[in-house]
Amino acid sequence: MNIKSKWICISTTALLTLTIAGNSFAVKTTFTDLTNISEKEKIIELQKNGYVNGVSSSLFAPKGAVTVAESIQLIVKVLDLNLDAVRFIKEPKATDYFKKAKNDAWYANALITASVNGLDFPSDIDLRKELSREEFTYYLVRSMELHEKLPMIKIVPPKIADEDKISVNYEGAIQRAIVYGIVKLDKDGKFNPKAKMTRAGAAEQAYNALEYLKAHKSQAQDPQQGQDAQQGQDPQ
């Protein structure tokens, strides 16, 4: 379901002073719970650049689940979304876009920013819901494709050992995530779509998405590098 944005674009500063405080700590200290976590270096790099925070000043909780609200905030940060070019007719509220939101919650600004920038989240989604791997991957990839206006590409669907477990609505985005290098299958060639998306897993995908976008922008500046990309069918 597309969310209707209530805004008028002009080149001015947004009339909004809400702060993305989050429910986590932004202190730049080394997390002490990343030992033996394969995504450690990517998590640390994301923290250094302000993309992720811990659940405390020293803990990241890498194996913890990721909620819808946390996912939206992460995607907003990864895509560098803002409200700088928007002037509102009236003060925006998170509940204008998400029925189950709280206007004074830590995530309120991120929800408004995501909606105004045209990201596609159901307006009645439960913001406390813990996302599965297929759900998080879908939202990240579709948000990236929509906001960055990535060209449609024809891909050779990668082989996924547990493809039959993937929901049809998410399959196309997951296949493209693999092609983009955002997702890697496990040693058995499985994606594990129904498993919960962990904070470490979400951070890794966010890092990989940033790397892909950097490379894509470089190609856009030098079209010769992107000759192999072929126009294809409309992505799911």
In the structure, what pLDDT confidence band is assigned to residue 117 with cuts at 50, 70 and 90? very high
Size of the chain in residues: 236
The residue behind tokens 């509220």 is 93
Please check whether residue 178 is in contact with residue 142, taking contact to mean a CB–CB distance below 8 angstroms: no
pLDDT of residue 3: 47
- Where do the structural domains in the chain lie, given as residue ranges? 8-221
- On average, the pLDDT of the chain sits at 84
Q: Which residue has the higher pLDDT, 108 or 9?
A: 108
Give pLDDT tens digits for 5-52: 444 333 333 333 333 334 444 445 689 999 999 999 999 999 999 999
Structure tokens at 2: 């597309």
What is the rounded CA–CA span in Å between residue 177 and residue 191?
11
Structure tokens at 51: 């993309």
pLDDT of residue 218: 65
pLDDT of residue 28: 58
Please check whether residue 28 is in contact with residue 48, taking contact to mean a CB–CB distance below 8 angstroms: yes
125: pLDDT strictly greater than 50? yes
What are the backbone dihedrals phi and psi of residue 87, each rounded to the nearest 5 degrees, phi first? -120, 125
Give pLDDT tens digits for 159-200: 999 999 999 999 999 999 999 999 999 999 999 999 999 999
- Residue % of the chain over a pLDDT of 90: 70
pLDDT of residue 232: 42
pLDDT of residue 158: 94
What is the rounded CA–CA span in Å between residue 192 and residue 211?
23
Indicate yes or no: pTM above 0.85: no
pLDDT of residue 222: 57
What is the rounded CA–CA span in Å between residue 4 and residue 218?
32
Residue 130 burial by CB count (10 A; 0-12/13-18/19+): exposed, middle or buried? middle
Mean pLDDT of 197-214: 97
